[in-house]
Structure 1
Amino acid sequence: AEGGREPPQVPVVFTKHHNCVIGPGAPVHIPAAAPDAVDYEGELAIVIGRRCRHVPASLAPSVIAGYTVMNDVSVRDWQAASPTMTMGKSWDTHGPCGPVLVTGDEIDPHALALTTTVNGELRQNARTDDLIFDCYALVAHITTAFTLAPGTIISTGTPAGVGAFSDPPRLLAPGDEVAITIEGIGTLTNPVVAEPDTQLL
């Protein structure tokens, strides 16, 4: 696996704070606290449509509203500094999603091409056929532990090609533009900017 890690035996599950979610065209912020550590991760995302718990993989399609594109933006140094990934994954603006929701009767979520470009340069090129854990297995695994509400987003993991594991590393900077395309869904495009100098008290 990329980064020299072995594929996990079970899905690695973590949460992203709801404040990280933004739509197409909204800017991704490079925080002053981590100016050289922000990375992209192009991913297929599942959107839950029904409140559910203990869903077997065979019934997972019945609780899925549809699929969209997600950029699981990650602050690599903060991610590596803690045994949990929350602080590296949940910064404001670091959960772009879109551009549309496509239902399961329109696409096969396990047979889609995925590409990520940064400033027009191809960085990731893969297929959802290659997911370590397919969409239905992820729903089954997560609902073993807790209830999912309608609107819950489950991102399915990213293929090789992220900036942190490039040689040399190619992390995001203000002025960049990230575009993630998934066959049958569309392209999620977001500019990258320096975090505004704001304070909320």
Structure 2
Amino acid sequence: MFQLIRFQVPGQAESWGMQSDEGMRDLGRSFPEVGTLLEAIGQWDSLRPRIEAALKDAPLAPAGARLLCPVPPHGKTICIGLNYRDHALESGMDIPSEPVVFNKLPGALCGPNDEVPLPSCSSKVDYEAELVMVIGKRAWQVSEADAADYIFGYTCGHDVSARDWQLGRPGGQWLLGKSFPNFAPIGPAIVPSEFVPQPTNLPISLRINGETLQDSSTKQLIFNPNELVAFLSQCCVLEPGDVIFTGTPPGVGAARKPPRFLAAGDVVEVEIKGIGVLTNRFVPG
């Protein structure tokens, strides 16, 4: 399985490569004409066989290399609400007849092991494990039948949500409640879609300090990845490197009795079978 990563050695420019059992394979040094992981995504069809041939001899990143957000934070971060049947039922909401769409502002996207500040103006910061799609080709008004061609791959995501802003303010402040700094961790790697043959049959879970609080499957998705790409591309152009959070399963803190919100020091792990484990620590804002 390919696990594509971005990383940086202190004092050096970022590079990209592959996570392996031996460590981080530096493909940026093996393919200097491909400057970034985003460029590699754009050239994937021709680059993949060359990577397979070169991977064994690609140098390992030196000790101290730090994983970065696998997608450069330059594009759109689009999110889907109420997209798991079991979560909609948990929330007491009707099953939506079309995708519920919102977004996160620049500055929310971050990577594995990054700290997430808890904003001082919120006391109800919630957790949401999500499967995240990474767009690989420019998509505009594509059909559901063709949509898979535009999905480069998948990664783990955490849609952090300040519920007292999202739901408790007059009229609701979804954009603000979802857009505090580092409220959209993704990673640790992107798994190309050819290595995820059944994205709608993946166990997904979330743990806080080792305790499992979300445990479901992408079988529960109401709108699958192809449907989402087709729907979104009718209204906006999707570009390479755009990320789409596909919704969260049940077990969120706001729905618990009593509610369970995030606190400083919490370590949250999002795990999706076949994709990886995303880990972030929450700290005082």
Question: What is the TM-score when the length of structure 1 is the normalising length?
Answer: 0.94
Counterpart of 1:14 in 2: which secondary structure?
A: strand
Q: How does 1:29-40 map to 2 (within 5 A)?
A: 29-34=117-122, 36-40=123-127
| RMSD after superposition | 0.9
Indicate whether 1:28 and 2:116 are aligned. yes
Unpaired segments ≥5 residues, structure 2: 1-88
Runs of 4+ deviating beyond 2 Å:
none
Hey, what does 1:153 align to over in structure 2? 243
> Structure 1 residue aligned with 2:231, among 132, 137, 141?
141
Hey, what does 1:176 align to over in structure 2? 266
Q: How does 1:40-119 map to 2 (within 5 A)?
A: 40-80=127-167, 81=169, 82-83=171-172, 85-107=174-196, 108-119=198-209
Pairwise CA distance, 1:84 = 5.1
Greater RCO (Cα-Cα under 8 Å, separation 6 or more): 1
Pairwise CA distance, 1:114 = 0.4
Higher Cα Rg: structure 1 or 2? 2
Contact 2:165 2:173 in 1 (8 A): no
Counterpart of 2:180 in 1: which secondary structure?
A: coil
Matched to 1:42, the amino acid is: A
Hey, what does 1:17 align to over in structure 2? 105
Pairwise CA distance, 1:178 = 0.5
Pairwise CA distance, 1:93 = 0.8
Counterpart of 1:139 in 2: which secondary structure?
A: helix
CA distance in structure 2 between the partners assigned to 1:111 and 1:5 by the alignment: 23
Give deviations 1:117-169, integer Å, cap 9, x for gaps.
01100100011111011011000110010101111000000000001111100
Counterpart of 1:129 in 2: which secondary structure?
A: helix
Hey, what does 1:198 align to over in structure 2? none
CA distance in structure 1 between the partners assigned to 2:207 and 2:180 by the alignment: 22
CA distance in structure 2 between the partners assigned to 1:7 and 1:165 by the alignment: 17
Matched to 1:48, the amino acid is: I
The number of aligned residues is 194
CA distance in structure 2 between the partners assigned to 1:102 and 1:116 by the alignment: 19
CA distance in structure 2 between the partners assigned to 1:90 and 1:84 by the alignment: 10
Pairwise CA distance, 1:103 = 1.1
Matched to 2:244, the amino acid is: I
Give deviations 1:179-199, integer Å, cap 9, x for gaps.
00001010000001011xxxx
Question: What is the TM-score when the length of structure 2 is the normalising length?
Answer: 0.67
Hey, what does 2:212 align to over in structure 1? 122
CA distance in structure 2 between the partners assigned to 1:69 and 1:42 by the alignment: 8
Matched to 1:51, the amino acid is: R
Contact 2:135 2:240 in 1 (8 A): yes
Pairwise CA distance, 1:55 = 1.1
Pairwise CA distance, 1:83 = 3.9
Counterpart of 1:87 in 2: which secondary structure?
A: helix
